[in-house]
Structure 1
Amino acid sequence: MEPLFTPEQLAEIHAYHLPYYVRAAVDPFAKVLLLALLLGVLVRPFFRMATSVAGGLERGLGFLRTAPVSRAFFQAMDRLWGEAGWGAAVIFALMTDLFVKLIYAPVDVWFAYTLEHRHGMSNYTPAAFAWDLFKGHLMGAFAIAALVIGMYGLARRTRHWWWILGVPVALLMLVSAALDPYRSRLYFEQEPLPPGALRTRITELMTQADIPFSDVLVEKTSVASRRLQAYFAGQGPTRTIVLNDVIIQELGEEEVLAAVAHEAGHIHEPKWPGRIASSLALVALLFAIDRLLRRASTRGWFGTTRFADIRTLPLLSLILFVVSLVGGPIAGTFSREREREADRFALRLTHDTDAFRRMLVKAARVNKMDPEPPRWVVLKGMSHPPIAERLASLPTP
């Protein structure tokens, strides 16, 4: 069998992945130290600054509270927060998030732009990269503001807030996948796969697999990345098969079918046990946060003066980071097993081991996959088995 990579390609792949491995090893310690700095030193001055800025805005823009259009917004926010001070809380949350982003900005830009361009994995122009980065930060800011007003505001108004918030959010998590087809459109243009042999064969393959879907779309990611990709988005009436334009260019018809068959394997996974477990875990986590917020208010941590004081937000960030760090290896283990089963499903569906092998080889070469990453990287939470392992598990002709 032809080697997966030439020695030159393998050296290039190792040079490409090594910085990511170094970051994966260093980042947990750096993130904990950064959050510890926030909690130990910066919470109080940041809160004073946020209060001062909010007061200045109130004095300068106070007329908006009585203006016909904006008055309803301010009244709603005051009700949601339960008292005055929501502006300072939101500003404090955005300031702490901005502080972390600014610290990480040089590293993030170097990895996401410089390193990707250096190894030929990115097609981003500086302007397009900056625009997508800005969109991501803007959506993050909206999410943070919603978290502050929603969680902290509710916690201030009712004792069992964790239950009142957790149940509807958990139910939303169960059906949120229906919105997946619309999220990526914030970044990339999509259009239907033109009629032809490939579309016909995909339709026939999904009929054979008993998987209904609404459309097959081509996502134009080549403006940003040279990676090939295929995935299913949505569920029920919104289920969509998405192929990026790179996979259409790089793979033959049989190989695209093999990739679609692999993704189809995820449709038949038993998702409800995992979704229910995640929902229950969310409610349990919110209950633990409630206990933590009560302890912080009782002991006056970080200058807090009452229950659900916004100054505890960096502490919650630290707790959530530790939870994700501990849960990553567990989630990765389950994810890799799901990927193995999806490979087996694809082979049962297509009965074309050779095409599936070619698809994996081409994907590995185009995406510059490390065939044998360090074991600790795999165990830390890799979502897919290493490509060499996937190829070795294929049945021999």
Structure 2
Amino acid sequence: MGNKPFESQSLADWLCYLERLHPADIDMGLERVAAIANTLNLLKPAKQVVLIGGTNGKGSTAAMLESACLVQNKRVGVYASPHLIRYNERVRVNGDELSDSAHCEAFAAVEQARGDIQLTYFEFGTLAALWLMKQANLDVALIEVGLGGRLDATNVVEPDVSVVTSIGIDHQAFLGDTRESVAFEKAGIFRAHKPAVVGEPDIPSTMIEQLQKVGAKPVRVGKEFNYQQQAACWSWHDDAEPASERYAELPLPHIPLPNAATALAALKALSLLPSVEDTKAILRNTQVPGRFQTIQESPRVILDVGHNPHASSYLAKRLTDVKGQGRVYAVVGMLADKDVAGTLQPLLSVVDHWYTATLDVPRGATSDVLSAELAGLNTESEQFESVKAASDHALKQALPGDVVIVFGSFYTVADMMGEAE
């Protein structure tokens, strides 16, 4: 075709361009991305590369790895998706977001290199993120897998350590509707002779088979590493080195405990396990926006991006722990292609009042669809045209000792964060 490459100094212009560049949101396969990554020399964007997959827990695991690298004065980059408010959230270097102009420069480099190769929004953004990391002369690059693993654009890199945080059912149209099919796709990020850290305690046989077939070094919870929770603290140890029992009396983290334990195993695999004192500080300080994030007290307002049954089961447990004698008011907004009933079910026993909100975005479910799903679960709800309207109503009903949980999608949480800014 020989089209003239797109040029702009505006990040907003570039993002509009990316959105209309490819007819599909998702186009699984690595050939097109790999060709450009090779041209730009992006297959190894840092001295050490960590690829982080999993149904839930990628963001919190990456955040803890990032904190541990920063404490040890390592130059560290993170690529995460999706963003909540600004596109710039997707790439961090040494804990900081990058400027609009840096992203524009990266997009221009990818645009120049791609020629006539078509890229989706996510593929273009992934290549740009890898380019930014390569420019930053990093010690460690932490790269979150977008969807699945085997055919995800991020899987063009050569990881030194691969991590799978959890295995649940999500994105069934692309990954299949069984844990076995999902596990097979996620195992696609494992590499021969490289550590494969698995934080999922119930590993499907398909992942074990792929581990062995690829010849990766297994680092599995319950096998090669373990952790135990006590009432107000926890301990972690690597089974190969009983001396690491000194990682005891650790403070409970703000992120899910299984992800913190998995992050420690990944750090050990990287030879970057911090001292026990540094580990305690990291656990106290690591938080992730939109993951069981409290934005107001009395009544307590919590935001959570959880949007599948695995995430909502964890959310139900956390809410049970924090609600005390108060009532729980839930504001839910979800995408229509998610397992709505499966996501709502685990929360029925802990939520007292339900408010459904229409998400005015592509694929967004309407409040009447969500309320119909709740009705099918023998649960009443009130319907609202927006997350703001639903949350405003919930806050009027809630007393100081109550909890308002706003959850169901990155879009739902972003709506609330937009209101708070």
Higher relative contact order (CA 8 A, sep 6+): 1
Normalising by structure 2, report the TM-score: 0.26
Relative to its length, the structure with more strand (as a share) is 2
Relative to its length, the structure with more helix (as a share) is 1
Task: Choose 1 or 2 for highest CA Rg.
Answer: 1
